[in-house]
Structure 1
């Protein structure tokens, strides 16, 4: 096969000009926007995935030809038989469903200066100032002592109120403006404004006829009236503060998608779409959606847990009893599907332009992650990279390869190294994103389309 001596990348917009391709791209983007709007927490995301799998005929039982198992409503294992035995390996796509946010503390509600407030603890790598003075919503679950689960969403319906974090006016911010960003915005000051009106009722238990009117009690009355919960129920809850409102098209040409949580729910959505559209693969297919990636992948639902192993053990027992899990693992090929930082026109100085991802040039391979001297990195083997180049080249699917920023400035981690522990081939691969980890991330519509085609090519290979 003849190849060009010099490698040249091409914009995906040049490659996908056909009417049918444009329609497929638009349809995918519309479904994606709906997904981002509906799924702002791990639990909401896993529920969406479960519903799609059940509709497609999958069983919530490890052992059937098309099966899945979820755990704690935050992580899920999905498998489909291939034409070849599981003993010959598998194709695995993994992504994480969590994303940076603010969590309410266990004692969240308090009152100060006539305002009802809530304390938060931020989750994952955020730039704190981006969360101030913007509409926010509350998503979560409360578990009562009798086991009843109460789902809470406030701030998404157009008739709902929203919440916000107050910001300091510029007239009084001269000292504040001269501080380093890390000092100017404190985690303990990311407090949510929840309300302002007073309750004049008294708690029957305190028996205090002189109880003062209370803003905090007014908030508790509203929670109790709407959700039948009391303050103690916050101890057994997960309450997340996320940006309010739907995902949207961005740009006059509607060429981009803007919304919260695209790192890494873009890969969850695209992996699920690709998986459901490749029902007759050569090798067994496995899809894993994790939790806790943004905070180190710990916990029983993170990539460091043994959930994957437990599921695979049961799958082997049902599909190829007697086979060693170690042998099957070492014959596996995997994509750690996570987004990559696209080079920003206004911050080109933190990137090394020859090895940066560009919006509109397709999904991006990141051969290694980690930081500085490739510390804590999975570094994909060149044999695997060559194999991927070959299957994507034959399918005429565009892609690019990049690092995350300059050597001494960039760095980051994914779940790839936890899959690599098992001896399988694995590399990071996903669409480029602008404004990553912000409340309003941006992806290119054409990159989403190309990424879905790449995932399908890998899964059916």
Structure 2
């Protein structure tokens, strides 16, 4: 427990952006002996562990010795991105002696949670020669809140204008003479004039930590959905060290851009997973018909964080399905297929829980509260693969800093381990 949560904290700290998360997954796969493949090169069918990185996404897999053209897949799907703020073009702004960063809201962050925090910018710089470098600033930005003395109604109603009130400060001076991008280029060790593009987002810089009675809780940024990426990675590395299961090919699919709807070349609505699975099948000599056979016998475990029942807002939850922190992984169910779980998927999770000893509990939304969605229905729709939705229960989802019960974080990794083991 202690080692798992401590390493989870290190993983989150190393992953302030989806690009950093992909790089950290790749680093750990390299250490375990996985081979990184080039999508522009031919692939062979040699057994073992392999992976690709496409922008902020990673697909990694274990191919057993006995793989055939119809060997099914076990795919754990997650996503690497989290809500926040993305740096706009012409990013150096400011007024009245303050230097500010022009940012655009990315996804659906809980805006007030980002106020009065030391933030960093993290992501990638694209250079004119086509290479890319990762950069992170460390504590550099802050979105300052208006003092109560200047707005006596702030505790009754806080309303943030999405353009005027969320632009962070990063220095003092004349904005016409400053250059935020130049500062970032210097931090990355590249020439400012070589930077032709960038994808940079904010991240909270407060360290993850355990707290509460018996240190039962864990607080950190970006657990939606690094909690699932980490659990899937731990499970895949465990399967690798134990020897690949001969009855299926284990796949970790960590997509980007889920918070935006997944419609990108590295998102779950894009071609990346189908591209990889098709090429694995082709390297084994499979025809299109045989690939469909493999998909028909495959499973996708869509892992994304969900909601624990909130003690201060119990009326927002379903009266009969109120997941408690510490009671295990969520089995996420929705009648309108916002989650992909059906009866067969529920039975699979019951088997995985029995095999691993991991606790699980059901989650369904209150009928009056709109339900979010995951990559699960997207994967099921694109590939026709049987899919079930799970995840850890969080409080403060989409906050700059979310919280989970440590037992639930460990339970998800155990459930994922049973999934890749073939239970």
Same fold (TM over 0.5): yes
Q: Is the 8 A contact 2:70 2:294 kept in 1?
A: yes
Distance change >3 Å, CA 64–CA 414, structure 1 → 2: same
Q: Is the 8 A contact 1:36 1:246 kept in 2?
A: no
CA deviation string 1:118-144 (max 9, x = no partner): 111011111211111111111122222
How far, CA to CA, are the matches of 1:396 and 1:176 in structure 2?
Answer: 48
Counterpart among 223, 235, 244 of residue 280 in structure 1: 244
Q: Which residue of 2 aligns with 1:211?
A: none
Q: CA deviation at 1:216?
A: 4.5
How far, CA to CA, are the matches of 1:37 and 1:177 in structure 2?
Answer: 32
Q: CA deviation at 1:81?
A: 2.2
Q: Is the 8 A contact 2:269 2:379 kept in 1?
A: no
Question: Aligned residue pairs: how many?
Answer: 407
How far, CA to CA, are the matches of 1:358 and 1:218 in structure 2?
Answer: 50
Q: CA deviation at 1:225?
A: 5.0
How far, CA to CA, are the matches of 1:28 and 1:86 in structure 2?
Answer: 36
Q: Which residue of 2 aligns with 1:309?
A: 274
CA deviation string 1:377-413 (max 9, x = no partner): 244331332233134224433211111x311114101
Counterpart among 70, 92, 109 of residue 126 in structure 1: 109
Q: Which residue of 2 aligns with 1:333?
A: 299
Q: Is the 8 A contact 1:85 1:283 kept in 2?
A: no
How far, CA to CA, are the matches of 2:168 and 2:18 in structure 1?
Answer: 21
How far, CA to CA, are the matches of 1:378 and 1:270 in structure 2?
Answer: 20
Counterpart among 83, 89, 95 of residue 112 in structure 1: 95
Q: CA deviation at 1:86?
A: 5.5
Q: Is the 8 A contact 1:116 1:219 kept in 2?
A: no
Aligned: 1:417 with 2:377: yes
TM superposition score normalised by structure 2: 0.89
- Indicate the RMSD between aligned Cα atoms, in angstroms: 2.2
SS in 1 for 2:326: coil
Q: Is the 8 A contact 2:321 2:363 kept in 1?
A: yes
Aligned: 1:217 with 2:167: no
CA deviation string 1:408-455 (max 9, x = no partner): 114101000111122221111111111111011111111111111111
SS in 1 for 2:304: coil
Q: CA deviation at 1:244?
A: 1.3
How far, CA to CA, are the matches of 1:222 and 1:40 in structure 2?
Answer: 18
1:199-218, aligned counterparts within 5 Å?
214-218=174-178
Q: Is the 8 A contact 2:186 2:192 kept in 1?
A: no
1:34-433, aligned counterparts within 5 Å?
34-61=10-37, 62=43, 63-82=45-64, 85=68, 87-155=70-138, 161-174=139-152, 183-197=159-173, 214-220=174-180, 222-223=183-184, 225-226=186-187, 227-230=189-192, 233=195, 236-278=197-239, 279-281=243-245, 282-322=247-287, 324-368=290-334, 374-375=335-336, 377-403=338-364, 405-421=365-381, 422-433=383-394
Q: Is the 8 A contact 2:330 2:362 kept in 1?
A: yes
SS in 2 for 1:454: helix
Q: CA deviation at 1:60?
A: 2.0
Superposed structure 1 runs of 4+ greater than 6 Å apart: none
Q: Is the 8 A contact 1:136 1:243 kept in 2?
A: yes
The 10-residue stretch of structure 1 (247-256 or 67-76) with the greater mean CA deviation from structure 2: 67-76
Q: Is the 8 A contact 2:332 2:339 kept in 1?
A: no
Q: CA deviation at 1:340?
A: 1.1
SS in 2 for 1:162: coil
Q: CA deviation at 1:50?
A: 1.0
SS in 2 for 1:31: helix
Larger radius of gyration: 1
How far, CA to CA, are the matches of 2:144 and 2:68 in structure 1?
Answer: 58
SS in 2 for 1:168: coil
How far, CA to CA, are the matches of 1:145 and 1:37 in structure 2?
Answer: 29
Distance change >3 Å, CA 58–CA 115, structure 1 → 2: same
CA deviation string 1:142-173 (max 9, x = no partner): 22223343432112xxxxx5310121111221
Distance change >3 Å, CA 84–CA 296, structure 1 → 2: same
Distance change >3 Å, CA 247–CA 118, structure 1 → 2: same
How far, CA to CA, are the matches of 1:445 and 1:105 in structure 2?
Answer: 36
Q: Is the 8 A contact 1:80 1:286 kept in 2?
A: yes
TM superposition score normalised by structure 1: 0.82
Q: Is the 8 A contact 1:119 1:188 kept in 2?
A: no
How far, CA to CA, are the matches of 1:398 and 1:224 in structure 2?
Answer: 47
How far, CA to CA, are the matches of 2:323 and 2:191 in structure 1?
Answer: 47
